[in-house]
Structure 1
């Protein structure tokens, strides 16, 4: 009787895993550290036209590619795009990227170029992000650090020799379209918060929020926006 129960439980688990398997692969996927893929998406072009389909985002090249219904692919750079959205299935979680005029973080210049930024929230101050990558030699990395990194969302392991760390670079988009680089995230944010800085600091302290993790940073900026 006990063996029958074990066998039945095993079979139920196996069936459940088989049923869930197609869903697991439908999230965002990174075939390389600077490439992201989504099973479905939406691209709104500068012309106002909208295209739907699976999306691949080549972050380093600043190019997005969409798989059309007829099997062909179309590629676009920031100059051709207003915004695009990559969406996971079946969760429906979406990732929004906007094409914004940016001075590339250079001071004292009027030159700007269309650039993709990931939009993390919405409000008076919009938190936006780009990515940077740091490559480490696995041979010079402690086994415990490497093991923990492999299970972290901020790391990508392309092979047995290298460990790539994904580092978020954060910015604030002001209502007038100006982009503020947060070089020292905490200091620069509170300078922007001005007279509301003390209230935001109290909010962050009471909830043990830091300025390194993306979701906590979003909560801090959203709270400031709520005060406005």
Structure 2
């Protein structure tokens, strides 16, 4: 009788588990390392039109896709977009991506092209981000094996010797629209902070923040903006 009760309870639990909607349908999802999907969002076009629907962002190609009710898709390049917002459900967490004119990190040229950046904060100094995709040798003999602080992707196959990972690349958009590449995040931010750098360093020490963690980095830049 006891075993029968346990089996019935287990069956009920499994039935409930399989009846629940998948979490991936409501949060962001990465079908591959450089592609993100969200269940809802909007794309605001240069023309002024706004397109609503599930969002897919192809980061390597720099293309955003919107799924329409009839099952068709529309693809938009940064040149056609002001910004787009992708949203999780039911949490409502939103991710904002701006189309900004960028010299592709080549400081020696005046050529710029519209490029998508993820916006991480608001304020005088706007922290923005793109992603780089790398492969890491996970074999025990590799000198890279012991290194950490990397965002491993869903593409990692247990038992394989290589893992793809995401490296965040940070930038600052200045009030005049210029984009500054943070090649050395700590050094370059301190230079931008100018005569407020000492006050910001004091805040960092008090709050035990680091320049390596994204949410810490946002807090650092936000604190500087609050001083302005």
TM-score normalized by structure 1? Answer: 0.87
Mapped partners of 2:25, 2:51: distance in 1: 23
Q: Is 2:30–2:154's contact at 8 Å kept on the other side of the alignment?
A: no
**Between structures 1 and 2, the one with greater helix share:** 1
Mapped partners of 2:187, 2:43: distance in 1: 35
Q: Indicate how the Cα distance of structure 1 residues 20 and 191 shifts in structure 2: closer, same or farther if over 3 A, else same.
A: farther
The residue number in structure 2 matching 1:224 is 224
Mapped partners of 1:159, 1:165: distance in 2: 9
The residue number in structure 2 matching 1:72 is 72
Q: Does 1:168 align with 2:168?
A: yes
Following TM superposition, by how much is the alpha carbon of 1:20 offset from its aligned partner in structure 2, in angstroms?
4.6
Q: Is 1:23–1:89's contact at 8 Å kept on the other side of the alignment?
A: no
* Unaligned runs of at least 5 residues, structure 2: none
The residue number in structure 1 matching 2:118 is 118
Q: Is 1:103–1:110's contact at 8 Å kept on the other side of the alignment?
A: yes
The residue number in structure 1 matching 2:152 is 155
Mapped partners of 1:166, 1:2: distance in 2: 50
Q: Is 1:157–1:163's contact at 8 Å kept on the other side of the alignment?
A: no
Residue by residue, what CA displacement relative to the aligned partner does 1:5-53 show, whole Å, maximum 9, x if unpaired? Answer: 9678757755664565434532111111111111111000110100001
User: What are the equivalent positions in structure 2 for 1:5-44 lying under 5 Å apart?
Assistant: 14=14, 17-18=17-18, 20-44=20-44
Partner SS state of residue 51, structure 1: strand
Following TM superposition, by how much is the alpha carbon of 1:74 offset from its aligned partner in structure 2, in angstroms?
0.6
Partner SS state of residue 98, structure 1: strand
Q: Is 1:23–1:90's contact at 8 Å kept on the other side of the alignment?
A: no
Mapped partners of 1:188, 1:21: distance in 2: 45
With 5-14 and 127-136 compared, the bigger mean Cα shift is at 5-14
Partner SS state of residue 69, structure 2: coil
Partner SS state of residue 198, structure 1: helix
Partner SS state of residue 106, structure 1: coil
Mapped partners of 1:198, 1:8: distance in 2: 64
With 80-89 and 153-162 compared, the bigger mean Cα shift is at 153-162
* Unaligned runs of at least 5 residues, structure 1: none
- Measured on the aligned residues, the alpha-carbon RMSD in Å equals 2.6
